[in-house]
Amino acid sequence: MGERRVPGAGHARGVPDPAAAASPAASPAASPADPAADPGVDPGVDPALVALAQDLLDWARAGETSRVLAYVDAGVPADLTGADGNTLLMLAAYHGHADLVVGLAERGADPDRVNDRGQTPLAGAVFKAEDDVVAALLRLGADPDAGTPSARATAAMFGRSLAV
């Protein structure tokens, strides 16, 4: 099965709980714009599922740990990826949500997966000086030499440490 990407960053639409994922049409608030108008969206994909995926990416940015992990536990891929190649873990790492980073990695998210710019979650956390996230990713086995620029190169560029 090929990788599915969600176009754009989306806006929170408030799908109330993981049970709604089984019946996304039940939530009128989950109706996005016509996905056929976006060339990045497979016309066979239910627009409510696109909206849910966009919500999940927003929730990862916001650090809504229990909400995101509940959906992953209900079957959403731990490496759900947005149109720009950012995964849930990348967004959580970049925005300083160490508990969500750990939870996603424990559920199979790849801590070394690069986005479309070749950046890893570890390099993003180093860049943003998110020390708790850096420590968590290193404990999880993230490769400080993966990506372009690597976390090691990013740390050197900004005079930061990669010590756990």
Average pLDDT over residues 76-105: 98
Element (H, E) at 5: strand 5-6
Residue 10 has pLDDT above 70, yes or no: no
At residue 2, the pLDDT reads 44
Handedness of CA 49, 66, 58, 13 (dihedral sign): positive
**What are the percentages of helix, strand and coil residues in the chain, rounded to 5?**
50, 5, 50
The whole model's pTM is what? Answer: 0.76
Higher-pLDDT residue of 15 and 152 is 152
pLDDT of residue 36: 45
Based on its alpha-carbon atoms, the radius of gyration of the chain, rounded to whole angstroms, reads 16
Average model confidence (pLDDT) across the chain: 83
Contact 34, 47 (CB under 8 A): yes
User: Measured on CA atoms in the order 140, 143, 148, 149, is the torsion positive or negative?
Assistant: positive
Judged by DSSP in three states, 87 sits in strand
Task: Determine the Cα–Cα distance for residues 105 and 64; give it in Å rounded to an integer.
Answer: 15
CA dihedral 131, 132, 135, 138 (to 10 degrees): -100
Question: What are the structural domains of the chain?
Answer: 15-158 (1.25.40.20)
* Residue 142 confidence (pLDDT) above 60: yes
Q: What is the pLDDT of residues 107-120, one digit of tens each?
A: 999 999 999 999 99
- With beta carbons less than 8 A apart as the criterion, state whether 85 and 11 touch: no
